[in-house]
């Protein structure tokens, strides 16, 4: 695909759709306690969510120029 303004816009919209789909899946998983039954929660589950939160923080820091990405 030639590197035109229109092709850049199409690629941007395609990537945004990928992100939107991932965010929707995360929302659904969160609403379902990430598949963990509340009565079965242990510290391993807490560690798993801490890891997810750390990865998401890296993304939000980059998107909002915060943390190590702060100007």
Tokens coding 41:
């929660």
Q: Mean per-residue pLDDT for 10-38?
A: 97
pLDDT per residue as tens digits for the range 3-22: 899 999 999 999 999 999 99
CA pair distance 71, 53, nearest whole angstrom: 22
Q: Mean per-residue pLDDT for 35-62?
A: 96
Indicate yes or no: pTM above 0.85.
Answer: no
What local confidence, expressed as pLDDT, does residue 3 receive?
A: 83
Contact 65, 71 (CB under 8 A): yes
DSSP conformational letter for 20: H
What local confidence, expressed as pLDDT, does residue 71 receive?
A: 78
Assign 3-state DSSP to the chain and report helix, strand, coil percentages, each to 5. 80, 0, 20
Average pLDDT along the chain: 94
């Amino acid at each position: 695909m030639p590197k035109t303004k229109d092709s850049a816009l199409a690629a941007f919209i395609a990537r945004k759709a990928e992100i939107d789909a991932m965010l929707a899946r995360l929302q659904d998983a969160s609403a379902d306690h990430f598949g963990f039954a509340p009565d079965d929660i242990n510290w391993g589950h807490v560690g798993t969510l801490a890891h997810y939160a750390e990865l998401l923080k890296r993304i939000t820091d980059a998107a909002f120029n915060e943390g190590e990405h702060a100007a």
